[in-house]
């Protein structure tokens, strides 16, 4: 309405003054909304901190205690997995998304579609020599990651085959069952059916149908000790890093070209504002449009 009213002003000075006032009112309104939004964020951000940080810490203390007194399976691995890996992350994402949706309208970066001019085809990475499929790169990363994880699990750093002794390694190789048994002075078939321990249990008079269960319990107890733990931690964490790298490669190379296009457009918009200011200044000096355009271009 204010812009329409400016057309009815009888002088250019009054019209410009009204337009300037309109612009200032709009900017002040946006500033006021942002200030109110920032002040209103105090309590929701505290709640978000409670949900994402304090709630997991409290539950890890409360759940085992509650499970003990109530008899409910609250602290079993499945319940903990669902609570910490599904419920709490989803609750945090939903709550944070609700906060973001309440933000007053401000500048939004331009949306770049997949068919935007200048972008490579979807699923393609640009290289100096041409283009390569992102899926080929991900497959290569996966193969190298599996090979490297297996190498770390078997050899460690520096390689066990070179240093010969585990204490000299910076990153020790994963312990195998054979090495763990030899480390404790046991035969390789110690826990096998018909092996050393099996014969010992037979000699002790334990019924043969109960011996496999007894062997399984003793084997699990033995390998659960920290010095004889045969869990392949190097391989597991190597694979976690590999999958993290796969996610990075996919997200990076499906977004980097669009982000570059966004930055180009944002830079053009910024330069356009400066160009309009210079053009208006030169035309305000009563210079011809051609001279003003030439000066702006220079």
Predicted pLDDT at 150 = 92
Q: Which residues contact 72 (CB under 8 A, 6 or more apart)?
A: 66
H/E run at residue 256: helix 233-284
How far out from the chain centre does Cα 261 lie?
23
Predicted pLDDT at 62 = 82
ω into 219 cis (within 30 of 0): no
Q: What is the mean pLDDT of each run of 10 residues along the chain (298 residues)?
A: 60 72 79 77 82 86 76 74 88 87 72 85 86 93 95 84 74 81 80 77 78 81 81 90 95 91 86 78 75 73
What residue has token string 């050393």?
196
Predicted pLDDT at 159 = 83
Reduced to 3 states (helix: H, G, I; strand: E, B; else coil), residue 3 is: helix
What pTM was computed for the model? 0.63
Domain ranges of the chain: 176-226
Predicted pLDDT at 243 = 95
Predicted pLDDT at 134 = 92
Backbone angles phi and psi of 96, in degrees to 5: -65, -40
């Amino acid at each position: 309405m204010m812009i329409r009213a400016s057309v009815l002003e009888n002088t250019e000075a009054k019209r410009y003054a009204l337009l300037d006032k309109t612009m200032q009112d709009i900017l002040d309104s946006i500033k006021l909304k942002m200030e109110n939004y920032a002040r209103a964020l105090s309590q929701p951000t505290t709640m978000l901190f409670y949900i994402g940080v304090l709630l997991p810490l409290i539950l890890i203390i409360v759940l085992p205690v509650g499970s003990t007194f109530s008899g409910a399976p609250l602290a079993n691995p499945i319940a903990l997995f669902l609570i910490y890996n599904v419920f709490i992350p989803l609750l945090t994402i939903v709550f944070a998304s609700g906060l973001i949706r309440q933000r007053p309208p401000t500048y939004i970066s331009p949306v770049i579609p997949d068919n935007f001019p200048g972008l490579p085809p979807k699923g393609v990475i640009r290289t100096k020599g041409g283009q390569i499929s992102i899926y080929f790169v991900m497959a290569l990363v996966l193969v190298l990651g599996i090979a490297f994880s297996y190498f770390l699990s078997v050899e460690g750093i520096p390689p066990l085959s070179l240093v010969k002794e585990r204490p000299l390694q910076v990153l020790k190789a994963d312990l195998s069952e054979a090495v763990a048994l030899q480390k404790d002075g046991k035969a390789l078939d110690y826990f096998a059916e018909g092996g050393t321990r099996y014969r010992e249990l037979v000699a002790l008079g334990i019924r043969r149908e109960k011996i496999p269960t007894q062997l399984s319990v003793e084997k699990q107890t033995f390998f659960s000790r920290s010095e004889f733990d045969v869990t392949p931690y190097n391989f597991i964490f190597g694979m976690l890093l590999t999958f993290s790298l796969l996610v990075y490669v996919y997200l990076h190379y499906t977004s980097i070209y669009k982000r570059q296009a966004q930055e180009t457009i944002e830079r053009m918009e910024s330069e356009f504002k400066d160009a309009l200011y210079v053009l208006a200044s030169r035309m305000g000096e009563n210079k011809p449009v051609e001279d003003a355009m030439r000066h702006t271009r220079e």
